[in-house]
């Protein structure tokens, strides 16, 4: 029977700020060969959020001080504060002719994430050079609300007989839509830690595989010609992949407590997927999701406490 020689639990509440960009676009049909091959594209830029989270890890030594079992977990909530959305529709292949272009303000809503994993760490040099390999699962959701739109371009072949000013008034008075982006799946990570006296430097690289799901509520299409369902007006499904990098500096304040400052960045994208459009009469149109992609960077500060 294998028993742990020692157990160490570390808990770290933290605060952070993040910057994110997210975009997706769809084709005219399922094959992607019918012009335009990019029919509609929505981009969220400079999305700023403030975060609060709790991270923890459990380490167990199995009679070898240089080898540890590592179980880790983390959960966080974020308040989305601001950003800009761009909604573009095209009339020709490869975004060659704009049918409509508008911008809007991102005004709030929230994001949440969780991650859990298990692996091991190995001390190449005790209390100096430590490496680790971990695998786990994750999910991150962002619910983005956008309002106060401005029409920038309109092509008479796309929306005949309506001026830019009239479209802007409609966007400013009525626009109140949402898009939910969910990335989930598995991950594997490699990490390195360098310790020197009271300081530690942590480096980590992580790869992701999984699924992407997006869901939009288009309130301006709740009525009129070909109205869409509310609150689910359309959805996106695709396989996803991603990677992230972390750099963390730790300073030990005492025997059991430490201060942590971390910078992290990541990128996620999808292959071709399926987009569904849900009409108010119950019919569903299907077309190709060309791609969805997201990039993020964040900085956080936390305080950890060790329980033995």
112-123 pLDDT tens trace: 999 999 999 999
Residue 177 pLDDT: 95
Supply the pLDDT for residue 1: 44
- Tokens representing 199 are 């300081």
74 domain residue, yes or no: no
Whether 281 is in a domain gets the answer yes
- Widest Cα–Cα separation across the chain: 80
Domain count of the chain? 1
The H or E element containing residue 72 is: strand 67-90
> Does 108 reside within a domain?
yes
Enumerate the β-bridge partners of residue 209.
186, 241
Q: Is residue 177 part of a domain?
A: yes
Q: How far apart, in whole angstroms, are the C-alpha atoms of residue 87 and residue 286?
A: 20
The single-letter DSSP state of residue 227 is P
DSSP H helical ranges for the chain = 164-174
Q: Is residue 135 part of a domain?
A: yes
C-alpha distances in angstroms, 218 versus 54, 166, 221, 223, 247? 34, 19, 6, 10, 39
**pTM to 2 decimal places:** 0.93
Residue 129 has pLDDT above 70, yes or no: yes
Confidence of residue 285 (pLDDT cuts 50, 70, 90): very high
Within-domain flag for 4: no
pLDDT at 2 over 70: no
Q: Which domain holds residue 118?
A: 24-45+82-241+266-297
In a domain, 218, yes or no: yes
**Residue 19 domain-assigned (yes or no):** no
């Amino acid at each position: 029977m294998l028993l742990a020689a020692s157990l160490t639990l570390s808990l770290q509440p933290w605060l952070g700020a993040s910057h994110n960009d997210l975009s997706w676009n769809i084709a005219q049909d399922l094959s992607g060969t019918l012009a335009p091959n990019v029919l509609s594209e929505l981009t969220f830029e400079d999305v700023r959020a403030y975060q609060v989270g709790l991270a923890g890890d459990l380490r167990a030594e199995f009679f070898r001080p240089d080898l540890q079992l590592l179980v880790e977990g983390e959960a966080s909530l974020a308040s989305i504060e601001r950003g800009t959305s761009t909604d573009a529709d095209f009339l020709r292949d490869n975004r060659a002719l704009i049918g409509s272009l508008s911008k809007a303000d991102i005004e709030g809503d929230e994001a949440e994430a969780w991650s859990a994993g298990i692996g091991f760490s190995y001390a190449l040099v005790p209390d100096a050079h430590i490496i680790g390999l971990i695998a786990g699962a994750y999910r991150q959701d962002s619910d983005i609300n956008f309002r106060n739109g401005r029409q920038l371009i309109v092509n008479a072949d796309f929306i005949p007989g309506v001026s830019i000013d009239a479209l802007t008034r409609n966007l400013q008075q009525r626009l109140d839509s949402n898009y939910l982006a969910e990335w989930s799946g598995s991950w594997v990570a490699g990490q390195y830690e360098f310790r020197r006296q009271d300081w530690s430097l942590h480096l980590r690289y992580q790869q992701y595989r999984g699924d992407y799901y997006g869901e939009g509520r288009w309130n301006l299409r709740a009525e009129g010609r070909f109205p869409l369902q509310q609150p689910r007006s359309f959805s996106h499904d695709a396989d996803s992949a991603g990677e992230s990098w972390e750099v963390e500096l730790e300073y030990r304040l005492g025997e059991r407590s430490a201060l942590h400052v971390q910078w992290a960045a990541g990128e996620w994208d999808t292959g071709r997927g399926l987009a569904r459009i849900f009409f108010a009469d119950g019919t569903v149109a299907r077309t190709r999701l060309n791609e969805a992609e997201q990039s993020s960077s964040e900085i956080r500060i936390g305080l950890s406490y060790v329980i033995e």
